[in-house]
Amino acid sequence: MEKRDELYKGKAKSVYTTDDPNSLIMLFRNDTSAFDGKKREQLARKGMVNNKFNAFIMEKLHAAGVETHFIRLLNDQESLVKRLQMLPLECVVRNLAAGSVCRRLGVQEGLELNPPTFEFFLKNDELGDPMVNDYHIRSFGWAEPDQVEKMKQLTFQVNDVLKQLFLDGGMLLVDYKLEFGLFEGRVVLGDEFTPDGCRLWDRETRKKLDKDRFRQGLGDVVESYEEVGRRLGIQFD
Ligand code: TMP
Ligand code: ASP
């Protein structure tokens, strides 16, 4: 597999073309950002931890029947993935209230949401990733109605698999964000699943073990990601 040009540089990952037009290399950097890029820092080991964390989760999801872009780990900070045509949307499921939903709706952090709720956000940093609904998606042509339904169905299927996986490790999956793309016309899970894009709390103490540690300046960010991984049985070195 030959690495060629940088195709895209995000806030925490870079994507490269390869000699295979259908495959890309995803590089997890140590860069960490929050608040749509307004807070940025380099955190040692984070690229490696997130790359291995993502590989573990993507393999679990594949085994549960969720089609993902993940092909295989290449090295500490890089993975090979299928090239998707990304849909410009972020799919969020919330099992417990935290973050923006608390600010928007004035609900207390930790409120249990029964049933879990779903939100779409438009992927656009300049606009601060605004929340959008099914009608916006249709009217502005960001995705087709059947793709919208598929994204919802897959995002909830991921919830069934991962809620239990984290619970078995003594953690609560509070919320998470997924991104999807098209591969040969099918809606396929892309991007990543790491503690950068979800909230995880210790089941007993409700200690935050995810990127809120960075957002809120709580310290031990990568140490917490590794703790989550260790509880799931992930080997980092
Ligand atoms: P929120 O509370 O900020 O709306 O985020 C909900 C969850 O989705 C939280 O785990 C963080 C994740 N998320 C991202 O990782 N990136 C984003 O751009 C958004 C909107 C959410
Ligand atoms: N909106 C997410 C956060 O606040 C992602 C980002 O902006 O980088 O962390």
140-186 pLDDT tens trace: 999 999 999 999 999 999 999 999 999 999 999 999 999 999 999 99
Among 65, 82, 99, residue at a domain's last position: 82
In a domain, 201, yes or no: yes
Are 90 and 68 in a shared domain?
A: no
Task: Name which of 67, 69, 73 is nearest 84 in CA terms.
Answer: 69
Ligand 2 centroid, distance to 107 Cα (angstroms): 20
Q: State residue 147's pLDDT score.
A: 98
State which of 50, 177, 192, 209 you would mutate to test the pocket of ligand 1, scoring each by most atoms of that ligand within 8 A of its C-beta: 177
The total number of structural domains in the chain stands at 2
Q: Give the domain range for residue 57.
A: 3-82
Q: Are strands 112-122 and 70-73 parallel, antiparallel or unpaired?
A: unpaired
Ligand 2 centroid, distance to 123 Cα (angstroms): 11
> What CATH number does the domain containing 157 carry?
3.30.470.20
Ligand 1 centroid, distance to 111 Cα (angstroms): 17
Are 105 and 199 in a shared domain?
A: yes
Task: Name which of 179, 173, 148, 174 is nearest 161 in CA terms.
Answer: 173
Are 111 and 215 in a shared domain?
A: yes
Are 91 and 48 in a shared domain?
A: no
Q: State residue 36's pLDDT score.
A: 84
In a domain, 89, yes or no: yes
User: How large a percentage of the chain has pLDDT more than 90?
Assistant: 98
Point out the residues of the chain with pLDDT beneath 70. Answer: none
State which of 92, 163, 171 you would mutate to test the pocket of ligand 1, scoring each by most atoms of that ligand within 8 A of its C-beta: 92
Q: What is d(CA 60, CA 87) in angstroms, rounded to the nearest whole number?
A: 23
Q: Kindly report the protein residue whose alpha carbon is nearest to atom 21 of ligand 1.
A: 177
Q: State residue 1's pLDDT score.
A: 84
In a domain, 227, yes or no: no
Ligand 2 centroid, distance to 36 Cα (angstroms): 5
